[in-house]
Amino acid sequence: MPTPGNAGAASSEISGVFPSQAAAVGDIVCRVERATAVDILALRGLELPGLRDPLLRAERSAPAGRKVTVRVLLLDAESAAARRRAAQLGAPADSFCSEIRLVEAGLREFAGRTGRIALEVYRYRVVPAWRLIRVDDIQYVSTLCDGWDGAGSEVYRLAETAHGPLHRGFRQVFEDLRSGAHRVV
């Protein structure tokens, strides 16, 4: 039972609901262009090209001396988890894993060209239940279910609040996953 001081804390964290990932893109892009920190938990990273242009614009428009830290967690293409997720989606494992490798290679090239963006890329080895994008103190969260690619899932925009369990919980999910992941960039 919530205490009176925390009543409704979780609901006050939900500052927006989008019917799909595509519907959330504009909101995310606006925030990324002004961001100082971005965390992304992705599967194969197909959603990342939509963030590449705003990250480049953020780099060009950032005041001198301001760096944007971007941490990306991608599913390890060589893991059993990648093959399991491909099977859950009904996708050919080789194609699914090739897409992950392609995005990782693109991020590696991007890291070599950027000056104001500090990019870290990690590989994790578990099938996630969530897709997360954190832009400074706002998180965008959607589910990844068996047989569902997540693009059609509702996306919840979570604002950091003093007593909010959702924002803190999802931040912890990201940090725990990152701490067990292998850094590749």
In the predicted structure, residue 56 carries a pLDDT above the cut 80? no
Q: Give φ, ψ of 105 to 5 degrees.
A: -65, -40
3-state secondary structure of 19: coil
Task: Check: CB of residue 39 under 8 Å from CB of residue 132.
Answer: yes
pLDDT of residue 136: 94
Q: Indicate the DSSP class of residue 126.
A: S
Tens-place pLDDT, residues 67-77: 888 899 999 99
The model's pTM is 0.85
Question: How high does pLDDT run on average in the chain?
Answer: 83
CATH of the domain spanning 21-183: 3.30.870.10
pLDDT of residue 50: 60
The arithmetic mean of pLDDT across residues 155-170, rounded, is 91
Residue 68: in which H helix or E strand, if any? strand 68-75
Q: What is the rounded distance in angstroms from the CA atom of residue 21 to the CA atom of residue 156?
A: 10
In the predicted structure, residue 113 carries a pLDDT above the cut 80? no
The β-bridge relationship of strands 68-75 and 117-124 is parallel
Task: Check: CB of residue 149 under 8 Å from CB of residue 64.
Answer: no
